[in-house]
Structure 1
Amino acid sequence: MLALSHYNSSSSPLLPPLGNDSGGKAEARVAVEGWSQQGNFTFVEPTTSGVIVVILSMTLGIISNIVALFILVNAYALQQRRSKATFLLFATSLVITDFIGHLVPGALVLRLYLSGGVSPEDFDSSDGMCQFLGGSMVFFGLCPLFLGCAMAAERCLGVTKPLLHSSLVTKTRVKICLAAVWLAALSVALLPCFQLGSYTFQDPGTWCFINVLSDTEGVDVAFVVLFSGLGLTSLAVALVCNTVSGVTLVLARLRRQPGSHHSTKSHDIEMVVQLVGIMVTSCICWSPLLIFGLMSVIHSYTETIGDNLSNYKTLLVMGVRLATWNQILDPWVYILLRRTVLRKIYLIAKCQAGLRGTKLGRWEPTSFHSSEKKQVDQV
């Protein structure tokens, strides 16, 4: 998938809108062949710098996921609290899914890129490799969104109803939930095998995805609506759950009596902060593709794209390119948003605040009362 970053939008052909009649299809094919012969259609030629960038991007994603996986596995082995253990089980599954989703489609796209891509006249939606690549992109796209939604719901239940959470959420049920998430994403990805939607090669012929721009039918619209609807719904549910969890923790912190034990809440805060990071990353990376894919298939089905087809193709490539960064950025949420790292950042920022803030802090009323109390205790 990372090989998409070497697509030059200026070299894409300005294909005419394809009609539903056979005459329109024949004219479109003749036009494509004519443009290819004139040299206006540029295929992807592998260059040394391009290959190096692709390999470096894939290496960065692989290393990031391995480091995050190592941190999560160690934390899971040392964790005694069941609520934290279930969260780490979800997080580990998410990192493993991101790792495989970064490796498998990326390797296939890199192979197509190095081979020069597939020419437009050879675009065949029944190609086995295209079907596998398109299904992989849908599967590994929905899985992180579903897992992020499930993690947010689990934490919301743990923060708002801890007793109910302890009685309902167990490791066995978490594993069943993970299996259900993967099965649901796989079911959606396999729908084109039952003629409910289709995958096709996308310009410049180095990747496959849902058919949203050419010869779209009613089943294609329904498939895209299902894909985008499930993704956007997952993001919305995660947003609501994380908001409820955050507000609950803030109110609990405000109501906490001075000197009370709050180590349990610190674990909850850490998990909610990580979930917010996952949610923000997923929203930024996936929302453009989910929304634009829905708009594209509707305009294509109603034949209202017109002369903007090349712009739609460019935006589609940009949306997929942005979505691939979700698999690289997700691991850094666990690498950076840990209590130890956040505590060090806080201490560094506090030291950089300067001596003035420290001196002023000595004369705060709370500090005065606490020092006076120590003197009384000593007497």
Structure 2
Amino acid sequence: MTPTLKSIALPIFMFAGGAIGNIIAIIVLSVSRQERKSSAFYTLVCGLAVTDLLGTCLASPITIANYLEQHVLKNEHVCEFHSFLLLFFALAGLSIICTMAAERYLAICCPYTYHRWGVDRRFAQKFLFFIYISHIFFCCLPTMGMARSLLQSSNTWCFIDWRTAEPAAAAYSVLYAVVSLLLILVTIALNLAVCGALLLMRQRTVHRPVTRTSVRERWRSLSSAAETQMIAVLVMTSAVVLACSAPLVVRVFANQFMLKIDSKADLAAIRIASVNPILDPWIYILLRRSLFRRLLGLSRRGSSTHSSSSIAPQRNLFYPDIMRDSHVFTQLMCNANIITQLPATVKFTLNDTESPHQT
């Protein structure tokens, strides 16, 4: 294999992995039930898959063409466009992932605010549109003169000139890094808050004695599978965001405030960031159902052989089904000791003849 073929193998592999993975994810989402399609989380996942697919299909061919012909990125307009693509899709991916974490936080920790705001498919579509428009404007600022794009020393990618001493360009580099860092931190904080809330609710429900077996069984059916799957997905989300996005953010700060130039570290950071679209579809789409349902089914068979009661079907994370059963929801909120925080105007329709205070 010639040196040219060896060097071009990595971008071709990353292009194929990102495109195929996201196409499979979009197909899987397209054949999902209508119930899940109407949820806000489903819409955000679709937006993330489409964003990753567009980023891969737009940026990777330019990189591959530059490997074949070294003068492609030396064109000023092509270099500016390539820099814009890297800036935009890196930031848009972080924003959508942060929005997904915020949607789950509202659905789990603030269900009444979630319901009052009407967070649904249309709401998510409007927010995705806002993310795209605002990020297009923000990432176009270098082409408007606030900063300038520069072919990096490896001659394989373009990015903003993050070592410039010009005040406007330096301010943009720092601003881009700060916004990215804030998105990462907010995503991690929201994920931890959701995990903590779920664990706290389950701990209080398990340790609090109840007189109605049906309430405990319903809670187990609603929370055991969903909680395990939710925590695993959120932990994986935090790990992927931190591992793929943090190196590039660190390099932006390092190139702005440190005198030492490390071109190899810069190239490694952008390559790690490019792995994010490859991992996203497998984490958010494929792992969310088949693997966890099978693993949870096996664990239930091993740990619940003494129980003869039937377990209700698992609920999907991508749709707030818990809001549909008002009686179960009232029982859970009582067990979590937060029913006293509800506004006086909120009313529940009990499907059972017993009062929720009997638990």
Query: Would the TM-score normalized by the shorter structure come out above 0.5?
Result: yes
Aligned: 1:173 with 2:127: no
The offset of 1:95, in angstroms, is 0.7
1:135-156 CA distance string (max 9 Å, x none) = 0100001001001111111110
Quick one: distance in 1 between partners of 2:64 and 2:201?
50
1:266-286 CA distance string (max 9 Å, x none) = 446645543432222011011
Quick one: distance in 1 between partners of 2:268 and 2:30?
34
* Counterpart in the other structure of 1:254: 203
Is the 8 Å Cα contact of residues 14 and 275 (structure 2) preserved in structure 1? no
1:35-67 CA distance string (max 9 Å, x none) = xxxxxxxxxx96234334432331121111111
2:279 pairs, out of 329, 335, 338, with 329
Quick one: distance in 2 between partners of 1:261 and 1:349?
18
Aligned: 1:210 with 2:160: yes
Q: Which amino acid counterpart does residue 217 of structure 2 have in structure 1?
A: G
Is the 8 Å Cα contact of residues 203 and 313 (structure 1) preserved in structure 2? yes
Return the index of the structure with the highest Cα Rg.
Answer: 1
Where do residues 27-46 of structure 1 align in structure 2 (5 Å cutoff)? none
The offset of 1:102, in angstroms, is 1.1
2:103 pairs, out of 132, 154, 168, with 154
* Counterpart in the other structure of 1:282: 241
Aligned: 1:186 with 2:136: yes
* Counterpart in the other structure of 1:195: 145
Is the 8 Å Cα contact of residues 65 and 72 (structure 2) preserved in structure 1? no
1:292 pairs, out of 242, 251, 262, with 251
Quick one: distance in 2 between partners of 1:87 and 1:199?
35
Quick one: distance in 2 between partners of 1:158 and 1:131?
40
The offset of 1:79, in angstroms, is 1.9
When structure 1 is superposed on structure 2, of 178-187 and 228-237 the one drifting more is: 178-187
The offset of 1:184, in angstroms, is 1.9
Aligned: 1:99 with 2:67: no
Quick one: distance in 2 between partners of 1:194 and 1:211?
14
Quick one: distance in 1 between partners of 2:138 and 2:5?
37
After superposition, the Cα gap between the structure-2 partners of 1:190 and 1:262, relative to the gap in structure 1 and judged at 3 Å, is: same
1:153-202 CA distance string (max 9 Å, x none) = 11101101212212211322221111111122112210112211111101
When structure 1 is superposed on structure 2, of 339-348 and 236-245 the one drifting more is: 339-348
2:44 pairs, out of 69, 86, 90, with 90
Q: TM-score, normalised by structure 1?
A: 0.71
Is the 8 Å Cα contact of residues 134 and 210 (structure 1) preserved in structure 2? yes
The number of residues matched between the two structures is: 297
* Counterpart in the other structure of 1:69: 26
After superposition, the Cα gap between the structure-2 partners of 1:269 and 1:163, relative to the gap in structure 1 and judged at 3 Å, is: farther
Q: Secondary structure at the match of 1:179?
A: helix
Where do residues 265-280 of structure 1 align in structure 2 (5 Å cutoff)? 265=223, 266-267=225-226, 270-271=229-230, 273-280=232-239
Identity within the alignment, %: 26
After superposition, the Cα gap between the structure-2 partners of 1:275 and 1:88, relative to the gap in structure 1 and judged at 3 Å, is: farther
1:242 pairs, out of 179, 191, 216, with 191
Where do residues 354-365 of structure 1 align in structure 2 (5 Å cutoff)? none
Quick one: distance in 1 between partners of 2:123 and 2:147?
33
After superposition, the Cα gap between the structure-2 partners of 1:72 and 1:270, relative to the gap in structure 1 and judged at 3 Å, is: farther
Quick one: distance in 2 between partners of 1:283 and 1:52?
26
The offset of 1:105, in angstroms, is 0.7
Q: Secondary structure at the match of 2:218?
A: coil
* Counterpart in the other structure of 1:48: 5
The offset of 1:350, in angstroms, is 7.7
When structure 1 is superposed on structure 2, of 96-105 and 338-347 the one drifting more is: 338-347
Q: TM-score, normalised by structure 2?
A: 0.75
Quick one: distance in 2 between partners of 1:189 and 1:227?
9
Q: Which runs of 5+ in 1 are unaligned?
A: 1-44, 352-356, 372-379
The offset of 1:241, in angstroms, is 0.9
After superposition, the Cα gap between the structure-2 partners of 1:116 and 1:46, relative to the gap in structure 1 and judged at 3 Å, is: farther
Q: Secondary structure at the match of 1:337?
A: helix
Quick one: distance in 2 between partners of 1:136 and 1:313?
20
1:140 pairs, out of 76, 89, 105, with 89
1:319 pairs, out of 255, 261, 269, with 269
